[in-house]
Amino acid sequence: MTALLRGHWQLLVLVGLVFALWQTPVIVPLKLLVVFLHELSHAATTILTGGDVISLSVSAEQGGAVWSRGGSRFLILSAGYLGSLLIGVALLFVAVRTHADRAVMAGFGALMLLVAVLYVRESFALMFCVGTGVAMIAMARFLPRDVNDLVLRVIGLTSMIYVPYDIFSDTIARSGLQSDARMLAEEFGGATVMWGGIWLVISVVVIVVALRKGLGAASNIHWPAKT
């Protein structure tokens, strides 16, 4: 336990801050970004399974939707929560284990701009995607690597926290909602709670395994560092 605290105290502090601020407006932009990652996962799976994405949206109420044609409905519906979780894990470990923070931040921003141009039609979603994309590219260009590293850690950790929470809230605690799990149950059988439970177990296992296998002995940022 002492080694864990010594080697990863910064990540533990970040997790604590995210939980402490969870119900405040401070975390809303991060929640919206995780919703974007959720919808992006649906859209990417649609394209990868041979379908077409018509539009993608994120709302101020922290909801989102993708309108599409074709593709594998089973994989598309399953991809939202689990895809955004894997993206969060990837962002965290890019920050912790590599020095590619600025390149990844710039690429993330460019991707948001590309999605905005190709698929976003509604005004709030367009402002959010363009504004966030431009901010990410500016961070990559003008801020030190360690700042980009910290921001990627926060995004990755928030996604990892938000996904199992959202799965439980949307598919188990409020199983009557029109969620991905409910649509999966309606189209392929089973119950909303069953699909939500499967996704919840998978998400927890992925988080535990990723943290145990990927963090290493230490993950703290040592300030200042070369940029």
Q: Considering the domain boundaries, does residue 60 fall inside one?
A: yes
Q: What is the pLDDT of residues 10-62, one digit of tens each?
A: 888 998 999 899 889 999 999 999 999 999 999 999 999 999 999 999 999 99
pLDDT in tens, 81-121: 999 999 999 999 999 999 999 999 999 999 999 999 999 99
- Cβ contacts of 208 within 8 Å, gap of 6 or more: none
pLDDT at 3: 65
pLDDT computed for residue 227 by the predictor: 46
Structural domain includes residue 2: no
Tokens of 79: 């991809």
Strand partners, 65: 57
Question: From CA 127, how far away is CA 146, in angstroms rounded?
Answer: 27
Q: Are 135 and 106 in contact (CB under 8 A)?
A: no
Instruction: Judge whether 220 lies within some domain.
Output: no
Q: Does residue 1 lie within any of the structural domains?
A: no
Question: According to the model, what pLDDT value does residue 224 have?
Answer: 63
**What global pTM score does this model have?**
0.92
pLDDT at 220: 85
What is d(CA 222, CA 201) in angstroms, rounded to the nearest whole number?
35
Q: Which residues span the domain enclosing 124?
A: 28-214
Q: Is residue 11 part of a domain?
A: no
Structurally, the chain folds into a number of domains equal to 1
Residue 177: predicted pLDDT? 82
H runs (alpha helix) in the chain: 2-20, 28-48, 73-97, 101-119, 123-142, 145-167, 180-188, 192-214
In a domain, 117, yes or no: yes
Asked if the structure places residue 65 within a domain, the reply is yes
